Structure 1
Amino acid sequence: MASYFLKRLLGLLPTLLIVAVLVFLFVHMLPGDPARLAAGPDADQQTVELVRKDLGLDKPLPEQFASFFTRMLQGDFGTSLRSKRAVSTEIAERFLPTLWLTLASMVWSVVFGMAIGIVSAVFRNEWPDRFGMTLAVSGISFPAFALGMLLMEIFSVQLGWLPTVGADSWRHYILPSITLGAGVAAVMARFTRASFVEVIQEDFVRTARAKGLEERVVIFKHCLRNALIPVVTMMGLQFGFLLGGSIVVETVFNWPGLGRLLVDAVTMRDYPVIQTLVLLFSLEFILINLIVDLLYGYINPTIRYR
């Protein structure tokens, strides 16, 4: 297990290098002139050129990439073109709100999604199954921004129960976490149902029932662990999507997180912030996939890593 973990960590380096090159090229292909945006709409051409030189955008692209990559290896991700602050400081201030929102969304979506999936599998083709899968399809089909605005209209505007913007207290997390986790709960329910239906039909489950074990023991002791591997895989991927893909929800609720920071950076063509955020999201996905692979061995001890 340890050697497998070390090999996977070493495999991060070429992947991140490829991502860094692609992100750098993609960012510099975006339309718009960051020097013009930084100088202001009323600045003359001479001022724009001075700003471009100050930002280092007058150098050839290979030289800009070499400078960016060298600083990145030293832990220096540059300075934001928009705020003139260190990129690491900008991201550090926005990381925790996004992380806590993601964790809150993931916890409730996993609990409710797995519960709906298990009930649907146990009562397959009966009304609980149809009702649960109807909810799942609705959760997948309904856009996040529309759900967020609907929840804000009902619980904030009409009822006045919950705040709409900010991240100051636990009440601020309720509506954004429901909006962000609705799609994950729906996917979790469908994955859990499909995995449980397959496991329930196995011979060892029929043997357990033939021994006279209670149905809840059969479900939670014999079926749950064997059905978890595909579910855990999906959980890891969905957690990565939530952590890096909460842009729409953070924009709707004006959430002070990484998604909102990325939107502002793209608007202002803030190259250092965009590049660092995309690299961070890529690293998160890679690490989450590694953790999921390691969890396989814990869930199913018959899996060995070589």
Structure 2
Amino acid sequence: MTTAAAPAGLRGNPWPAFAARRLARFAVSLWALLTAAFLMIHLVPGDPVRASLGLTAPAALVAAKRAELGLDDPLWVQYGHYVRNLFTGDFGTSMASGQPVAQVIGDRLPSTVQLAVLAFAVVVAVAVPLGVCFAVLTRGGRRRGAELGFTSVSVFVAAIPEFLIGVGLVALLAVGLGWFPVAGTGDASSYVLPVAALAIGPAAVLARIIRVELLSVLGADFVRTARAKRLPARLVYVRHALPNALTATLTLGGLMLTSMVAGTVLVENVFAWPGLGSTIVQSIVTKDYPLVQGIVLVYGVGVLLVNLLVDVVLGLLDPRSAIREA
């Protein structure tokens, strides 16, 4: 008895296996994140309930709070309740405010997302033309002075932490010149300094990488062929060279986006920005562990989703990556 052969389209299509591996990796990483966040409250030295209520809180109040949070149950029972509650949208209750953690996160998350997305848009808008410009100016070993200056400045700027850039911007542009608000949210001008603090370093890194990748692409055979056909220089750069250079830098861009999301923690505290970054610092100070736990989960899931999206986009732009893993 013979078995029917699989259709040629399915045999030759690497995408189902590629997607299955990526989703499996995402699921395992998500499980590890949930487990680490659950164990966080149990690995903290001392009693988190006692720490949040204060050392002078009556023992009866501490015991009641522990029972309310289910901390007296066996660890595996607590873990089961924790996972079940997460999938129903229940992140617990803030010990400091008594509000549902999901509500606090929902109120603060949009501010953090706006900040990170705007900063990433600025990074792309600045880094891509800057990297292309210096690649064109310095290709073939020309203008060594411009190349040295660009590399030195970009390396120096990229090494400065976001919070230090933020403090410098506040001192110079907010306090010194009075051009922008010092802190808080309001009109569009209040976004300028925190977005700049997040975007300046990554823009310098990405511009430098784009320049290096584009210089490599400009020496490829297909670019020389395009030039031999006497195509306009703008067409050679934009249609033929740049897409190949951007494909190589997409992974770095995804990593930058995740690091910028993490960087909001420090930048939000510099500018008193009402997002998750400033909230998690306040929660750590007040020992509000359920809120810390929920925010850590949100940040972690955000990083995992960005990495998954980058993998999928890379597979779409470069199908060879999916074929190689098939």
- TM-score norm. by structure 1 comes to 0.90
Query: Matches of residues 62-81 of structure 1 in structure 2 within 5 Å?
Result: 62-81=76-95
Corresponding residue number in structure 2 for 1:30: 44
* 1:124-154 alpha-carbon deviations (Å, 9 max, x no partner): 3523323322231122111222211111011
1:14 pairs, out of 23, 28, 45, with: 28
**Is residue 137 from structure 1 mapped to residue 141 from structure 2 by the alignment?**
no
2:183 pairs, out of 159, 165, 172, with: 165
Q: Output the amino acid matched with 2:303.
A: F
* Percent of paired sites with the same residue: 34
* 1:173-229 alpha-carbon deviations (Å, 9 max, x no partner): 100000011121122112212211211111111222222223222211110011111
In 2, Cα distance between the equivalents of 1:279 and 1:184? 24
How many angstroms does 1:284 deviate by?
1.7
CA RMSD in angstroms, aligned pairs only: 2.3
Q: Secondary structure at the match of 2:71?
A: coil
Per the alignment, do residues 21 and 115 of structure 1 end up closer, same or farther by CA in structure 2, a change over 3 Å counting?
A: same
2:197 pairs, out of 156, 165, 179, with: 179
Corresponding residue number in structure 2 for 1:202: 220
1:223 pairs, out of 229, 241, 259, with: 241
Runs of 5+ unmatched residues, structure 2: 1-13
How many angstroms does 1:49 deviate by?
3.3
In 1, Cα distance between the equivalents of 2:169 and 2:116? 18
2:257 pairs, out of 226, 239, 249, with: 239
Q: Residues 148 and 179 of structure 1 are in contact (CA less than 8 Å); yes or no, is this contact kept in structure 2? A: yes
Q: Residues 130 and 207 of structure 2 are in contact (CA less than 8 Å); yes or no, is this contact kept in structure 1? A: yes
Runs of 5+ unmatched residues, structure 1: none
Corresponding residue number in structure 1 for 2:118: 104
- TM-score norm. by structure 2 comes to 0.85
1:150 pairs, out of 154, 168, 181, with: 168
Q: Secondary structure at the match of 1:245?
A: helix
Q: Secondary structure at the match of 2:236?
A: helix
How many angstroms does 1:280 deviate by?
2.0
Q: Residues 34 and 268 of structure 1 are in contact (CA less than 8 Å); yes or no, is this contact kept in structure 2? A: no
**Is residue 48 from structure 1 mapped to residue 66 from structure 2 by the alignment?**
no
Q: Output the amino acid matched with 2:71.
A: L
1:285 pairs, out of 303, 308, 315, with: 303
Q: Output the amino acid matched with 1:147.
A: I
Q: Secondary structure at the match of 2:230?
A: coil
**Is residue 94 from structure 1 mapped to residue 108 from structure 2 by the alignment?**
yes
In 1, Cα distance between the equivalents of 2:235 and 2:190? 39
In 2, Cα distance between the equivalents of 1:246 and 1:133? 26
In 2, Cα distance between the equivalents of 1:167 and 1:204? 49
Q: Output the amino acid matched with 2:130.
A: I
Q: Residues 49 and 62 of structure 2 are in contact (CA less than 8 Å); yes or no, is this contact kept in structure 1? A: yes
Q: Output the amino acid matched with 2:120.
A: M
Q: Secondary structure at the match of 1:18?
A: helix
Corresponding residue number in structure 1 for 2:134: 120
Per the alignment, do residues 140 and 32 of structure 1 end up closer, same or farther by CA in structure 2, a change over 3 Å counting?
A: farther
Q: Output the amino acid matched with 2:173.
A: F
Q: Secondary structure at the match of 2:185?
A: coil
In 1, Cα distance between the equivalents of 2:216 and 2:235? 17
How many angstroms does 1:2 deviate by?
7.3
How many angstroms does 1:234 deviate by?
1.3
1:84 pairs, out of 83, 98, 101, with: 98
**Is residue 211 from structure 1 mapped to residue 232 from structure 2 by the alignment?**
no
Paired residue total? 306
Per the alignment, do residues 206 and 91 of structure 1 end up closer, same or farther by CA in structure 2, a change over 3 Å counting?
A: same
Single out whichever of 163-172 and 116-125 deviates more from structure 2. 116-125
Per the alignment, do residues 41 and 26 of structure 1 end up closer, same or farther by CA in structure 2, a change over 3 Å counting?
A: closer
Q: Residues 254 and 260 of structure 1 are in contact (CA less than 8 Å); yes or no, is this contact kept in structure 2? A: yes
